[in-house]
Amino acid sequence: LKNRLKVLRAERDWSQADLADRLEVSRQSVNAIETGKYDPSLPLAFRIARLFDLSIEQIFEDEV
Amino acid sequence: VDPVTGASARRRYYVRLAAFVAVYVAIVVPVIWTFNRGLFPAPPVGYLVAALPALPVFGVIWAVLRYVVEEEDEFLRFLHLRGVVGATGLTLAVCTAWGFLGRFADVRQPSLMHVFTIFCALLLPALAWTHWRSR
């Protein structure tokens, strides 16, 4: 999955650690999701979407 | 994080692992000591004493599985499982290769009782490597 997490985070001037705190996950998780090394579960994707007040599709893009 | 103790799942996991490895050493040392001095009990008690070192191995497996249940961070859970599966696979591969080398190439072999030690020796670098790659 491609995602806009890094851009959304930068727009708010948040560090990876800031975003990790808000999502209650580790900084490694944020880094792995941002770099596309790890696709989050549906519950975590919903949490991310809620945090940015966007839909999942506005953040994550299916590469197919 | 545990609301009562404040300890993270990972910290509890490492404490449990260290505790079970310590119990393993505490059992193995006297077992070997009594055997080497000819003080080892005769069967059936001897069978029980000889099998005792396997008990903390169950403890280690329990700690590994418990961490999977307790870790709330799904990515850390994924990393952990990848490390454990990697170490298990490497242990199987090393032991299988060593077994064939012993049977067909006369290579000296360790006893089966060392499999747990081999697993632990591979688990630590496997976990360290998976975490280092995702730092």
pLDDT(B108) > 70: yes
Instruction: Note the pLDDT of residue A55.
Output: 93
pLDDT digits (tens, 9 = 90+) for B17-57: 999 999 999 999 999 999 888 888 888 888 998 899 999 99
Chain A residues in contact with B73 by the CB 8 A cut-off are 25-26, 29
Asked if omega into A40 is within 30° of 0 (cis), the reply is: no
Q: Which of B72, B75, B135 sits opposite A38 (nearest CB)?
A: B75
Q: Mark out chain B residues that contact chain A at CB-CB < 8 A.
A: 72-76, 78-79, 131, 134-135
Closest CA to B110 of B91, B83, B89, B87: B91
pLDDT range class, residue B69, cuts 50, 70, 90: very high
The 3-state DSSP class for residue B13 equals helix
ipTM of the complex: 0.86
Report chain B's mean pLDDT, rounded to a whole number.
88
Q: How far apart are CA B20 and CA B59, in angstroms?
A: 6
Reference A47, options A27, A20, A31, A23; nearest CA is A23
The two three-digit tokens of residue B112, written as one number:
């089966």
What confidence category does residue B6 fall into, taking pLDDT thresholds of 50, 70 and 90?
A: low
pLDDT (tens digit, 9 = 90+) per residue, A1-60?
A: 789 999 999 999 999 999 999 999 999 999 999 998 899 999 999 999 999 999 999 999
Model pTM? 0.79
DSSP calls for A1-64? -EE-HHHHHHHTT--HHHHHHHHTS-HHHHHHHHTTS-PPPHHHHHHHHHHHTS-HHHHEE---
**Which residues in B lie closer than 8 A to residue A33 (C-beta atoms)?**
75
- Nearest residue of A to residue B130 by CA position? A28
Range of weakest confidence among A7-21, B1-15, B78-92, B120-134: B1-15
Closest residue in chain B to residue A32, using alpha carbons only: B134
